[in-house]
Amino acid sequence: MNDNIDHDHDGGEDNAPVQEARLWQGNGWTARVIKNEDDEGWAVAMFKDGEPEPALVGPWTMGRDKKNPKPLDVNAFNTLVKTASEVIRRHEQHLHAILHKHTTISTEHGELKVTLDIVPDDDDPYAILAATDEMGEQVAKVRVPASFKLTPASAHAWVENDFRAPRG
């Protein structure tokens, strides 16, 4: 009596990939064809395994009957995985650019690379301001408010103040 075993696709311990007309799983992703809430058509949502929110939601093609969605297939799924992965990669690059800033300044002792790394803690966000010399040695490191703006001028002011933590 194994009739019902393969009908439960809740991500159980069964490692066989799901490949159905409206649900396709594999390569760490799940594609789910859903009713488009904005109009009469269909959409596809791409979920990275373990994530509650979709990485990508986009329109999905109608089938030949002009009522039901076109079934998912391996080529469509692979394209969706590639697109959703690119969306995540761009998001991660953007987040990195926001949280990690740097500038290089000239001082009487040579060039210093000054970095600002923001730690986006929900309760107590802060940043680490650090200076590294031309040999790659860390010269100074202080905790600053997450709102600190790193510019060549603020980096120079920090150095001229003997690397004391700026106020903001």
- pLDDT (tens, 9 = 90+) of the chain, 168 residues, equals 444 334 344 444 456 678 999 999 999 999 999 988 777 789 999 999 999 999 999 999 988 888 889 999 999 999 999 999 999 999 999 999 999 999 999 998 899 999 999 998 889 999 999 999 999 999 999 999 999 999 999 999 999 999 998 865
Instruction: Quote the number of domains for the chain.
Output: 2
- Which residues constitute the domain of residue 115? 99-160
Do 149 and 105 lie in one domain? The reply is yes
- Report which DSSP code applies to 36: -
139 inside domain: yes
92 inside domain: no
86 inside domain: no
Do 67 and 9 lie in one domain? The reply is yes
CA distance 159 to 150: 12
Do 65 and 23 lie in one domain? The reply is yes
78 inside domain: no
pLDDT of res. 168: 54
Do 22 and 64 lie in one domain? The reply is yes
Task: Look at the chain and count its residues.
Answer: 168
pLDDT of res. 14: 54
Do 63 and 114 lie in one domain? The reply is no
57 inside domain: yes
Do 68 and 112 lie in one domain? The reply is no
Phi/psi for 90 (5° steps) reads: -65, -40
Q: Among 56, 72, 88, where does a domain finish?
A: 72
Query: Whole-model pTM above 0.85?
Result: no
Q: Give the residue from 85, 62, 149 showing the smallest Cα distance to 157.
A: 149
151 inside domain: yes
Distance from the Cα of residue 81 to its chain's centroid:
15
90 inside domain: no
pLDDT of res. 16: 67
pLDDT of res. 11: 43
Residue with tokens 């990485």: 55
- Note whether 137 and 131 are within 8 A (CB): no
